Structure 1
Amino acid sequence: MHGSIINLLKRFVQLQYDHSTWLRLVELSGLSNADFDMNTVYPDAHIFALVGQAAEMTGIPAAQLQEKFGEFLVPDLMLVYKRYVQPEWGTLEMIEHTEEAMHGAVRRDAPGTRPPVLHVRRQSAKELEVTYESERRMGALAVGIIRGLAAYFDETEDIEVTPLTSEDEERVVIRVRQR
């Protein structure tokens, strides 16, 4: 997992709780350091340990925490990738172009990273079917990011996000429908 994502998780925990909660979370996760370099790729086990321990500490299921974290990530991701976003895009168009533009940039600019693969099919003018594929099995994070995009584009009331398969599989199908 890219260090930038772990650092955003750190900020998420600090904003939701506090810095001491982050330090305790890192310690209970068995990690030796609470600071992560933004440009280093860390073993996926780090993020799994942190999310798993956070679920245990809070009593909130890991999938639900991933969704909330995904929503939290969006403003920062949009800042980083704004040069790839067209002004006329909304949630559906953003999702359609994520694989090519944003994930493509990540693969080019940050060797060693492995963002999930997204297959997006336009079902109609107001509906997409998104297939998330990743050995990380973090489909809940993708669901959260989609919901975060709807909030970012001020379309929360208009966008319905429905996982059609279990969110903890390597392949997760998500329906995104504009009402």
Structure 2
Amino acid sequence: MHGIIFLELKKYVGAKWGAPAWSTLLADAGLGSRSYLPVHEYPDDEAELLIGTVAKTTGQTFPTLLEDFGEFIVPDLLQVYRSLIHANWRTLDLIENTERMIHRIVRLRNPGARPPQLVTERRNPSQVAIHYRSTRRMCGIAKGMARGVAKHYGERVAIHEPQCMHTGAPECVIELRLAN
């Protein structure tokens, strides 16, 4: 997993439970004083271990925590990738173009990066479906990011997931509809 996700997780943990919580989390997860750099790749199982440890420690479910984390990271990611985001885009436009404009560049800049594959289907002006494919199966982050992007644009989205890898499907289908 890309180092920026670990740095965002550290920021998330600090914002929710205070700066010392990160060191405690690393210790509880058995990772000692591990540090992460933004442009390196790290084992997926470390991210899963850290997120699972946060969930266990806080009593949240893994999916709920993923969604909250996904929403939390949006402002920073929008800042990092602002040059790739068209000024006239709104929530569904950005989501519809994430694979083409952002994930493609991430893969070009860092050949080891493996962001999820997103195939989008614009069903009408107020609805888009995301076909989410990733061996990580962290579709909760995508749902949280959709909420975070909508929040950024002053919009709201209703999210429906008729198909999920966690229930045996080969991919997740996440349907987003503007709720404003």
Could you tell me which residue of structure 1 aligns to residue 178 of structure 2? 178
Structure 2: how far apart are the matches of 1:35 and 1:168? 30
**Is 1:163 equivalent to 2:161 in the alignment?**
yes
TM-score by length of structure 1 reads 0.94
Could you tell me which residue of structure 2 aligns to residue 62 of structure 1? 62
Could you tell me which residue of structure 1 aligns to residue 73 of structure 2? 73
**In the TM superposition, what whole-angstrom CA distance separates every residue of 1:135-178 from its partner, at most 9, and x where no partner exists?**
0000001000111100011102xx21222223636611101112
SS at 2:159 equivalent: strand
Query: Aligned-pair distance for 1:124?
Result: 1.4
Structure 2: how far apart are the matches of 1:108 and 1:35? 25
Structure 1: how far apart are the matches of 2:49 and 2:111? 23
Root-mean-square deviation (Å): 1.3
SS at 1:119 equivalent: strand
Residues 2-81 of structure 1 correspond to what in structure 2 (within 5 A)?
A: 2-81=2-81
Aligned length: 177
Q: Percent identity of the aligned residues?
A: 35
Query: Aligned-pair distance for 1:19?
Result: 2.0
Specify every segment of 5 or more residues in structure 1 that has no aligned partner in the other structure, as ranges: none
Residues 127-138 of structure 1 correspond to what in structure 2 (within 5 A)?
A: 127-138=127-138
Specify every segment of 5 or more residues in structure 2 that has no aligned partner in the other structure, as ranges: none
SS at 2:166 equivalent: coil
Could you tell me which residue of structure 1 aligns to residue 97 of structure 2? 97
TM-score by length of structure 2 reads 0.94
